[in-house]
Amino acid sequence: MSATLGATPTIVLVGHGMVGQRFLEALAERGLTATHRVVVLCEEPRPAYDRVALTSYFAGKTPEDLSMTDMEFIETHGIELFVGDPAETVDREAKKVTARSGQVFEYDVLVLATGSFPFVPPVPNKDAAGCFVYRTIEDLLAIEEYAKTAETGAVVGGGLLGLEAAGALKGLGLTSHIVEFAPRLMPVQVDDGGGAALLRTIQDMGLSVHTGVGTQEIVVDESGAVTGMKLSDGSELATDLVVFSAGVRPRDQLARDCGLTVGERGGISVDEQCRTVSDPQVFAIGECALAADGRVYGLVAPGYEQAETAAATIAADEASFTGADMSTKLKLLGVDVASFGDAHGATADCLDVVYSDSRSGVYKKLVIGRDGELLGGILVGDAEAYGTLKAFTGSVPPVSPESLVLPAGSGGGAQLGPSALPDDAIICSCHNVSKGAIRGAVTEHSCTTVPEVKKCTKAGTGCGSCVKVLGQLVTAELEAGGVVVDKGLCGCFGQTREELYEIVLALRINTYQDLLDRYGRDGAKGGDGCEICKPAVGSIIASLAPTIGASGYVLEGEQAALQDSNDHFLANLQKNGSYSVVPRIPGGEITPEGLIVIGEIARDFGLYTKITGGQRIDMFGARVEQLPLIWARLVDAGFESGHAYGKSLRTVKSCVGQTWCRYGVQDSVRMAIDLELRYRGLRSPHKLKSAVSGCARECAEAQSKDFGIIATSNGWNLYVGGNGGATPRHADLLAQDLDDAGLIKLIDRFLMFYIRTADRLERTSTWLERIPGGLDHVRDVVVEDSLGICEELESLMTDHVSHYADEWASTINDPEKLARFVSFVNAPDTPDPVVGFVPERDQIKPDLPLLSIGLRPTAHASAAEEVLEGSAQR
């Protein structure tokens, strides 16, 4: 059958990935969808989705969340999209494409956007059961299903997708290995120093890394299923599942079959207009195209630029693709990794400027020309300056190179913002948007917000790594034009969080509604507020409760309606609708009797137990109506809430100190307990973590905490603004050789000053780098009392300490408060039937597959009983 409309010129697009979708948008922007018939042949069973964010599927994103295809756009522009029906043959002489379904489409212009395919090394048994590639959503679904019966997984390839695949396997509960033939991870993006920093961080996450070895054979059992891998160094790695992520190759077979010229190493040869060199009516874009400069570009930004070039050429506009920026910024396993420009110093006669902190996994290198020109760089563990540094590439920065890599607070870090960039600096490499274009969107097109600038320029709509810089430029341009920039907390309040704190404190306002009615914006007064300001104001009121005459119990009256989901039930909500319970264990010190009580409770309620990184025991799997029953037994045994659910103090970790350790110089356990009991329940803009180390060996890792203490022979050193997690930051020394009283006084002041001046959801690490004057200013305020507020800060902390009450005990002793702890208000004795579990490793785990397909669990509700019964039989 032939499908054509005769006189109407037809554009056939083969492939509907990210680049293919961008090509369709470029056609629409030029009006070509109104003058041409547009046919799209898509091989996958779903239209274009965000392949860059593929791994986010394992973090809870659905295929629908990843979709980049607005079906209304497809229908509005009359685009004929055939999903799951790829092109099989092309007859260039007859200008026809035949699809798998048998449909034949005549074309006037053919655009090939067939992308790439995963390279699988030609090793024996590479196609065995348990071997997968990591390229499509369907690949991920297959891996997820197979992983249910596996315990160990191995990824062949330590590049971008390889690390993401390893993280996905770990997230699926598998012991994960990475096998990389090169001597370091991510060999294309980072150098040896960056690879070493990345390696340390990834190993600390519990992943095993094998570099400098190749895969020689996949070992299988009698049934043909994977049982291991033989490596080139003679060793063998036991594994149940193998993911190949050893690079990609251009999908150019369709082009080869119809006689188009391809490169020696693959890729459809095109000119600067993205026309194939063999046929001016055929274009190739994206990862299948071999550009005129002899490169196949494997990033989405160059693909977008090629899509724009092809669409412009078809519309008879002038356009060319002469190469692209290969800079990348990614977050791999929670670690920032970025490279830009000449990252490896290939330019002759260049110099390196390197900053390395192996303890925190931070590595920064800038490549500088002899004349001071910034040529490129590598950032691992801290890529905060990526947007600014990338934009300065090719020019001489206005500050010394070394100041650009030193951390804030070190005495040498430069505060160099995007306002210092020239107008021709490229801010968004995905869509090739310059600083001048962004400024023009504000000054010439009256854009006043980041979303408006995004819509006007497309900046920030690709990978998103430039959004922060984009926001800074928009604000700077508005302020330069005399526009008053709205820095209010949200649409309800024109004040910042800091200003609202001062209002609440000064006027003793103790309800959210009173604050909103008196100080909210005109349209918000008398309303219900929003999800931004309610928890923020709730936190302010809770932190000042005794001083302003409010209830310190967060579920009292109006306060309950202000809380986030975890605070609503004083427990952490888990992915299957159950809750976890974390009792406080100050300093990590616990008696055998306390351990027994926790064990008995976990056993009796069938809970999953795990030792946390903060020296506590977490119990998972409690239904909402079970929470008060569990708390009652814990409170009877002397335990209280550990506030794992709140934006408040979590833990004060400790080593054993001088009491036991032969290196200890102070009693770190006693100090940790004292501090945890002093600051427990202190509500703040974000969670707080602390630690006390008994000597400079730092076993408690105090310098990665919001406030950390290290013992010296003369007393205590106080460090502040540290942070682990996704953006590690080494804490800064605030004061040294303090006695006990002096230490506690400075911590009181520091915490209350932070609570007073930080933005909502701002950790101390971010606050310390944002606040004008940084560490020096904070030291002036809390040590030298430069603002004369230290007495007030100390008084506020004294109020908190003297009025502390355990939220669990307050709940179980009040029948009215207990009434909220039910799954169904109209059937309080009925447990939620959706909360189900299945056995795993003699404990339980959420029965998530049932939830994902909308079924109600029946037999699985007794999984905990099955585990207990099995344990009893053993």
Q: Which of 28-37, 235-244, 602-611, 721-730 has the lowest mean pLDDT?
A: 721-730
**Which of residues 263, 295, 314 is at a domain's end?**
314
Let me know whether 533 and 624 are in one domain: no
My answer on whether 203 and 307 are in the same domain is no
| Banded model confidence at residue 555, pLDDT cuts 50, 70, 90 | confident
Asked if residue 767 is part of any domain, the answer here is yes
The sheet with strand 37-42 has its strands ordered as 80-83, 37-42, 10-14, 109-112, 279-284, 275-276
Q: Does residue 462 belong to any structural domain of this protein?
A: no
Residue 334 · residue 725 · CB < 8 Å: yes
Q: Which positions ≥6 away from 816 have C-beta within 8 Å?
A: none
Confidence check: pLDDT of 630 > 50: yes
Average pLDDT over residues 647-671: 94
Angstrom CA distances, 397 to 372, 409, 704, stand at: 8, 21, 31
Q: In what order do the strands lie in the sheet with 608-611?
A: 572-573, 579-581, 617-622, 608-611
Lowest mean pLDDT among 88-97, 356-365, 745-754, 854-863: 854-863
Question: What is the distance between the alpha carbons of residues 43 and 451, in angstroms, rounded to a whole number?
Answer: 33
Count of structural domains within the chain: 5
Other C-beta atoms closer than 10 Å to the C-beta of 61 total: 14
Residues 99 and 137 in one domain: no
Final residue belonging to a domain, choices 535, 563, 591: 563
Point out the least confidently predicted range of 159-163, 276-280, 556-560, 851-855: 851-855
Determine whether the annotation assigns residue 456 to a binding site.
no
Residue 100 sits in the same domain as residue 226: no
Q: Both 163 and 214 in a single domain?
A: yes
- The residue that leads in pLDDT, 22 or 561, is 22
Decide if 529 is inside a domain.
yes
Domain boundary among 538, 563, 588: 563
13 found inside a domain: yes
784 located within any domain: yes
* 86 and 44 in a common domain: yes
What pLDDT is attached to residue 869? Answer: 41
**518 and 634 share a domain?**
no
Q: For residue 197, give both structure tokens.
A: 């920093």
In this structure, the answer to whether residues 770 and 861 fall within a common structural domain is: no
Same domain (yes/no): 578, 511: no
Q: What is the pLDDT of residue 693?
A: 95
Looking at residue 463, its pLDDT comes to 65
Q: Does residue 856 or residue 417 have the better pLDDT? A: 417
Q: Is 463 annotated as a binding residue?
A: no
Identify which of 318, 328, 272, 329 has the alpha carbon closest to the alpha carbon of residue 295: 272
699 is annotated as contributing to ligand binding: yes
User: At residue 473, does pLDDT exceed 90?
Assistant: no
pTM (whole model) above 0.95: no
Packing angle of the helix pair 137-147, 160-171 (nearest 10 deg)? 40
* 313 vs 855, more confident: 313
- Look at residue 169 and tell me whether its pLDDT is greater than 60: yes
Predicted local confidence at residue 385, as pLDDT: 78
pLDDT at 407: 63
Whether residue 616 sits in one domain with residue 506: no
Cβ-in-10-Å burial (0-12, 13-18, 19+) of 713 comes to exposed
Indicate whether 868 pLDDT > 60: no
Give 213-233 pLDDT, tens digit per residue.
Answer: 999 999 999 999 999 999 999
Q: Is residue 763 part of a domain?
A: yes
pLDDT digits (tens, 9 = 90+) for 254-273: 999 999 999 999 999 999 99
Q: Please check if 661 is assigned to a binding site.
A: yes
Name the DSSP class of 463. Answer: S
Q: Which tens digits make up the pLDDT trace of 283-302? A: 999 999 999 999 999 888 89
Which of 664-678, 719-733, 848-862 has the least mean pLDDT?
A: 848-862
pLDDT for 142-154, tens place per residue? 999 999 999 999 9
Structure token digits, residue 653: 């970790």
Rounded distance, CA 597 to CA 633, Å?
A: 8
Average pLDDT score over residue span 456-479: 78
pLDDT of 320-360, one tens digit each? 998 877 777 776 666 778 888 888 887 778 888 888 877 67
Identify which of 341-345, 685-689, 810-814, 818-822 has the greatest average pLDDT. 685-689
CATH number at residue 215: 3.50.50.60
> If we measure between CA atoms, which residue out of 201, 194, 200, 209 comes closest to residue 162?
209
- Is-contact 379 337, C-beta < 8 A? yes
pLDDT digits (tens, 9 = 90+) for 400-425: 777 777 765 444 444 566 777 778 77
What is d(CA 298, CA 341) in angstroms, rounded to the nearest whole number? 16
Mean pLDDT value of segment 672-683: 96
One domain for residues 719 and 598: yes
Question: Residue 709 domain-assigned?
Answer: yes
Between the alpha carbon of residue 732 and those of residues 147, 420, 689, 778, the distances in Å are: 43, 28, 15, 11
| Residues 182 and 95 both lie in one domain | no
Q: In 3-state terms, what secondary structure has residue 184?
A: coil
Structural domain that includes position 303: 2-117+250-314
According to the per-residue pLDDT averaged within each range, which of 318-327, 684-693, 770-779 is highest? 684-693
Give the separation between CA 32 and CA 124, rounded to whole angstroms. Answer: 50
**Is 425 within the bounds of a domain?**
no
**What mean pLDDT value characterizes the chain?**
87
Query: 250-289 in b/e burial notation, b at 16+ Cβ within 10 A?
Result: bbbebbeebebbbbeebbbbbeebbbbbbbeebbbbbbbb
